Amino acid sequence: MKCERQITVGAKSRLKALAELRSRFGTAKTLQHAAFRFVNRFFHFDCLHVIVLRRENLRPLDPAKAARLSTKIATLEQLKEMKKQGCWGLPEKTVDYFKRGDTCLLSYVDGNLAGYTWALESRCPTLVVGLTLSVPREYLYNFCGFTHPDFRGYGLQSFRHHALLNHQQWRDRKGLLGFVVHTNCSSKRGQDKSGYRRIGKIYIIGRGHKLYAHLGRSLRSMGIRRINAVQAKDEVRQTDGRT
Ligand SMILES: CC(C)(COP(=O)(O)OP(=O)(O)OC[C@H]1O[C@@H](n2cnc3c(N)ncnc32)[C@H](O)[C@@H]1OP(=O)(O)O)[C@@H](O)C(=O)NCCC(=O)NCCS
């Protein structure tokens, strides 16, 4: 009985999200999004856009909007509390991420917690299970951005990008690097507003850990390459040795 109710609630909220997507981005993009997300429940078949925000391309914020926004680096206690609340879409491995040195930057609207984004400590992001990359050290890998639905549209996404690049910890980085699933229109819009540019695509197909991934030539020429778990551990060890 409880299970049936959960399924109905889940289906209703998915339909609501699709209706909202349709009103913002039109029917064609909504159908494309729904089809890809449906297929990806059974196996991976997707296209990831790899994007870079170079410091010199960072677009200025709207001062009127930005006046209401702020950020702060999360503590482990805050993350555990947010996990308990259950409405923040935090990654399953939040505590592990924190313990391995990744930073979660919390963002606020008028002092109310409204979202977050993550900065990876190492240079070996796992984009999806089974696909780990090595990326140039001069870029900060930014992942898992999230804005609570009550606070979407306030421009938090760009505000967080500014906060990361202006933070003294990452002043030496040329910019931010990340990826977005090609059907995530809201995220792409927020990234465009910051000045992100697409530098290449990764096509993935497969199941579980067995993934075939094709990285475009532009990515390979920038030094972005796929690595396996052993190589990832070695690279992390080298990073630890240097810092
Ligand atoms: C993507 C996401 C982080 C954007 O955050 P945000 O703080 O709303 O960002 P912005 O305020 O800059 O808005 C970005 C775009 O989202 C769309 N948007 C605005 N309000 C929205 C709402 N209530 N619901 C859905 N999309 C909305 C708009 O297209 C907006 O661009 P516009 O202002 O030019 O119209 C947020 O939608 C989210 O958390 N989504 C779920 C997780 C996710 O997809 N993360 C990104 C992984 S790459």
Which ligand 1 atom is the nearest neighbour of the CA of 181?
48
Q: For 51-65, what is each residue's pLDDT tens digit?
A: 999 999 999 999 999
What is the band of 4 on the pLDDT scale with cuts at 50, 70, 90? low
Q: Assign residue 112 a region (left: φ > 0; alpha: ψ between -120 and 50; beta: otherwise).
A: beta
Helix segments in 53-176, DSSP class H = 63-66, 76-85, 94-99, 156-166
Atom number of ligand 1 nearest to Cα 159:
12
Residue with tokens 């979660």: 104
pLDDT of 208: 80
Compute the distance from residue 95 Cα to the ligand 1 centre, in Å: 25
In degrees, to the nearest 5, what angle opens at C-alpha 201 toward C-alphas 122 and 136?
25
Asked whether the beta carbons of 42 and 209 are under 8 A apart, the reply is no
Per DSSP, what are the bridge partners of residue 206?
A: 44, 211
* pLDDT at site 2: 46
What is the predicted pLDDT for the residue at 28? 87
Q: 115 near 153, Cβ under 8 Å?
A: no
Residue 243 pLDDT: 34
pLDDT in tens, 158-185: 999 999 999 999 999 999 999 999 999 9
Q: Whose CA is nearest to atom 19 of ligand 1?
A: 153
Nearest CA to ligand 1 atom 9: 157
The per-residue pLDDT for range 229-240, each reduced to its tens digit, is 888 877 767 665
Percent of the chain with pLDDT over 90: 70
Residue 123 has pLDDT above 90, yes or no: yes
**Of ligand 1's atoms, which has the minimum distance to the CA of residue 180?**
48
90: Cβ below 6 Å to ligand 1? no
90-94, 138-142, 238-242 — which is least confidently predicted?
A: 238-242
**3 CA to middle of ligand 1, Å?**
30
**Tens-digit pLDDT profile for residues 22-46:** 888 888 888 888 888 888 888 888 9
144 CA: nearest ligand 1 atom:
47
Residue 126 φ/ψ, nearest 5 degrees: -100, 110
Give the Cα separation of 99 and 97 in Å (integer): 5
Query: Is the predicted pLDDT of residue 210 greater than 90, yes or no?
Result: no
CB distance 195 to ligand 1 below 6 Å: no
DSSP β-bridge partners for residue 104: 118
Ligand 1 neighbourhood includes 143 CB (under 6 angstroms) = no
Query: What is the enclosing helix (H) or strand (E) of 220?
Result: helix 217-221
pLDDT of res. 127:
92
Decide: 158 in ligand 1 pocket, CB within 6 A: yes
| Residue 151 structure tokens | 């606070």
Model confidence at 104, pLDDT cuts 50, 70, 90, reads very high
